[in-house]
């Protein structure tokens, strides 16, 4: 690789602007091909056209004229190269019929010949064209053709990296918005409310300087049940608009769940100011709403709490909700202040924390397995190990409840080791009793993964259970990188040398960054399930998913999509070249005994 090529590669890796990189490529090729004027055109799939990227080798008039040129076999050398996906040589622009509409423009620019090659992805998708013009009639030598191909290949790499970065930035912005806003109303959601409440409680420490109004609709359920969800959504959006018209700058209005809203009111002058706002809310909410040419009536109940004590966000919301319940009990269409200084604390989490401590000794946990299948053939290639807790009193406890609790208390470490060893033991049995061995993916918490001695634990478990290392895959999330990438990369390299694979789970939910992804010795990325439901209906989400898949393939990583529930989702992800699929369409999580009865191929039945 020449010094110039190395410099261009560094520009690409360091995320320099695309125009700067393409100009450097043009200069490099122009230097190797005497007398050449290098032209790079970008392809716009939406308009199916090519546009010349500005450069010092062409006049401003020519550059402006070479915008949005249709891709056609009959329009110019580059138009045909893009249309046929093949190199095209025009020895004489003056006599070539493809140049009929642009011949005078080329003559004014002093251009007499043109050689063009398409800029393509590895899969043959068009990105643009790479061409050289000459002020004399000429045909390329073998060396010239090679230099054109080199320039096009570098341009493809630069454009693909630019697309990847743009897709990542768009998806990060979209995720940030979706994570903090309600999709129906556009209002801040509960997560954003809690952030704002924590900030407000930190600022407004003097008692009485912050009020929380917790609002719930009276009689909303019958409307939703009898008139349908569309009618219910219309009511919610109408109420949201009315509430927005009542508040002033500085007041936070959020939609929580269902028909619940919450307002944070900083610096009220008195309790009377708060109650006047509550009265105005009740009046506005009670105004009739037209649905399908009929008027429906609804009211609201409001609970109010103030920062009279040193409260946490959770506690002040509990106070406001308790006042709301009292308002409902006392007739609805009313507001109530919270007056009790006691916090109604649920003991459920405390009890579960204690029960977690003994659950392992009492064999209350069980591993269920959900298949991962080849997107094209439906062949089962692996499974994900998912823990289930059979609580003796509460029945089946959701992992979404006890896993966060275990992570918070540190109990995730012994629990995680049990899951890993049990999954390896059971899948070793499976591989010994079935013709086809399956790779098992085990979720590893960041706390467990970065803990000293984890690598040795993996070695011990593999040796004890007899599971071949190549059949074990550890799924980690991006959160393991928060405390630094160097030790994580070293551990992943050690695991790779052992034969154990590492996959990046829930890709897209964290701080997804190409700058670290390219350095991680991962074999696979797993698309966050939140993308899957909207890929077929939201072109922005689809673009993000396709960008992640393309980026991963360029980095030699497979892509898994989880949460596949419909044939449409399966077909859409397969069309976008996703490698593996997982979800209820193929099979629900199941114990080992049931897994052993599954056929090798799972066609997928909704």
Eight-state DSSP code of residue 117: E
Q: How far apart are CA 244 and CA 257, in angstroms?
A: 17
* pLDDT score at 509: 57
Neighbours of 413 (CB within 10 A): 17
Q: How far apart are CA 150 and CA 9, in angstroms?
A: 13
487-524 burial code (b ≥16 CB/10 A, e <16): ebeebbeebeeeebbbbbbbbbbbebeeeebeebebbb
Q: How far apart are CA 122 and CA 119, in angstroms?
A: 10
Q: Regarding the domain with residue range 190-337, which homologous superfamily does it belong to in the CATH classification?
A: Reverse transcriptase/Diguanylate cyclase domain (3.30.70.270)
| 261-278 tens-digit pLDDT | 999 999 988 888 898 999
* pLDDT score at 202: 86
Q: Which CATH number is 369-386+410-595 given?
A: 3.20.20.450
pLDDT band at 533 (very low <50, low <70, confident <90, very high): confident
What is the per-residue DSSP string for 276-339? HHHHHHHHHHTS-EEETTEEE--EEEEEEEE--S---HHHHHHHHHHHHHHHHHTTSS-EEE--
Phi, psi of 229 (to 5 degrees): -65, -30
Q: How far apart are CA 399 and CA 92, in angstroms?
A: 71
Distance of CA 356 to the CA centre of its chain: 32
Q: How far apart are CA 463 and CA 4, in angstroms?
A: 50
Let me know how long the chain is: 606
* Domain boundaries along the sequence of the chain: 3-173, 190-337, 369-386+410-595
- % of the chain residues with pLDDT over 90: 49
- Mean pLDDT throughout 437-447? 93
Q: Is the pLDDT assigned to residue 344 strictly greater than 50?
A: no
Mean pLDDT of the chain: 87
Q: Is the pLDDT assigned to residue 531 strictly greater than 90?
A: no
- The answer to whether the CB of 418 falls within 8 A of the CB of 455 is no
pLDDT band at 345 (very low <50, low <70, confident <90, very high): very low
Q: Is the pLDDT assigned to residue 515 strictly greater than 60?
A: no
Q: How far apart are CA 16 and CA 266, in angstroms?
A: 44
Q: How far apart are CA 522 and CA 475, in angstroms?
A: 10
The pTM assigned to this predicted structure is 0.46
- Which architecture characterizes domain 3-173 according to CATH? 2-Layer Sandwich (3.30)
Q: Is 59 helix (H, G, I), strand (E, B) or coil?
A: coil
Structure-token pair, residue 562: 């989880």
Structure-token pair, residue 342: 């006691």
Residues 6 or more apart whose CB falls under 8 angstroms from that of 427 comprise: 383, 385, 438, 440, 467, 471
Give the range among 295-304, 326-335, 384-393, 479-488 with minimum mean pLDDT: 479-488
| 540-557 tens-digit pLDDT | 888 888 888 998 898 889
* pLDDT score at 347: 36
* pLDDT score at 386: 95
- The answer to whether the CB of 564 falls within 8 A of the CB of 557 is no
Give the range among 250-254, 330-334, 341-345, 410-414 with minimum mean pLDDT: 341-345
- Mean pLDDT throughout 14-43? 88
* pLDDT score at 4: 73
Q: Is 385 helix (H, G, I), strand (E, B) or coil?
A: strand
* pLDDT score at 411: 86
Residue with tokens 């290098």: 38
Distance of CA 53 to the CA centre of its chain: 31
* pLDDT score at 92: 94
Q: CA angle 594-600-605, nearest 5°?
A: 75
Q: Is the pLDDT assigned to residue 604 strictly greater than 70?
A: no
């Amino acid at each position: 690789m020449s010094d110039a090529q190395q410099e261009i590669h560094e520009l690409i890796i360091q995320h320099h602007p695309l125009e700067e990189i393409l100009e450097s490529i043009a200069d490099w090729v122009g230097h190797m091909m005497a007398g050449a004027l290098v032209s790079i055109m970008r392809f716009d799939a939406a308009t199916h056209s090519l546009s010349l990227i500005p450069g010092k080798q062409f006049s401003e008039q020519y550059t402006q004229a070479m915008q949005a040129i249709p891709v056609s076999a009959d329009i110019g050398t580059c138009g045909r190269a893009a249309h046929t996906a093949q190199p095209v040589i025009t020895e004489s622009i003056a006599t070539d019929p493809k140049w009929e509409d642009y011949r005078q423009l080329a003559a004014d620019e002093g251009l007499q010949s043109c050689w063009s090659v398409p800029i393509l992805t590895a899969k043959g998708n068009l990105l643009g064209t790479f061409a050289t013009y000459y002020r004399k009639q000429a045909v390329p030598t073998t060396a010239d053709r090679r230099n054109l191909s080199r320039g096009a290949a570098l341009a493809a790499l630069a454009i693909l990296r630019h697309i990847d970065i743009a897709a990542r930035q768009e998806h990060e912005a979209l995720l940030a918005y979706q994570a903090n806003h309600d999709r129906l109303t556009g209002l801040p959601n509960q997560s954003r409310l809690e952030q704002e409440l924590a900030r407000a409680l930190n600022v407004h420490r003097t008692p009485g300087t912050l009020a929380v109004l917790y609002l719930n609709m009276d009689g909303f359920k019958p409307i939703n049940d009898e008139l349908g969800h569309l009618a219910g959504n219309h009511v919610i959006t109408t109420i949201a608009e009315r509430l927005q018209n009542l508040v002033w700058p500085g007041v936070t209005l959020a939609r929580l769940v269902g028909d619940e809203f919450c307002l944070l009111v900083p610096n009220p002058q008195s309790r009377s100011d708060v109650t006047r706002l509550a009265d105005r809310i009740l009046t506005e909410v009670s105004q009739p709403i037209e649905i399908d040419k009929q008027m429906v009536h609804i009211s609201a109940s409001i609970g109010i709490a103030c920062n009279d004590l040193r409260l946490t966000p959770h506690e002040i919301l509990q106070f406001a909700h308790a006042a709301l319940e009292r308002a409902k009990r006392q007739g609805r269409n009313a507001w109530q202040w919270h007056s009790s200084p006691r916090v109604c604390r649920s003991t459920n989490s405390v009890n579960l924390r204690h029960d977690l401590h003994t659950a392992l000794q009492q064999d209350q946990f069980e591993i269920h397995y959900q298949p991962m299948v080849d997107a094209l053939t439906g062949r089962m290639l692996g499974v994900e190990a998912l823990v289930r807790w059979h609580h003796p009193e509460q029945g089946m406890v959701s992992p979404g409840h006890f896993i966060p609790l275990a992570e918070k208390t540190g109990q995730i470490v012994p629990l995680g080791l049990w899951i890993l060893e049990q999954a390896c033991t059971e899948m070793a049995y499976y591989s010994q009793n079935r013709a086809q061995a399956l790779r098992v993916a085990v979720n590893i918490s960041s706390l467990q993964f970065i803990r000293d001695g984890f690598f040795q634990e993996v070695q011990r478990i593999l040796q004890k259970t007899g599971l071949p290392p190549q059949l074990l895959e550890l799924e980690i999330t991006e959160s393991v990188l928060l405390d630094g990438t160097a030790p994580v990369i070293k551990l992943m390299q050690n695991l790779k040398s052992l034969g154990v694979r590492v996959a990046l789970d829930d890709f897209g939910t964290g701080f997804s960054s190409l700058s670290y992804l390219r350095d991680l010795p991962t074999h696979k990325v797993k698309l966050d399930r939140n993308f899957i439901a909207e890929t077929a209906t939201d072109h922005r989400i689809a673009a993000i998913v396709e960008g992640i898949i393309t980026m991963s393939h360029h980095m030699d990583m497979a892509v898994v999509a989880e949460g596949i529930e419909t044939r449409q989702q399966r077909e859409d992800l397969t069309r976008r070249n996703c490698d593996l699929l997982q979800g209820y369409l193929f099979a629900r999580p199941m114990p080992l005994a049931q897994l052993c009865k599954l056929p090798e191929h799972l066609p997928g039945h909704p």
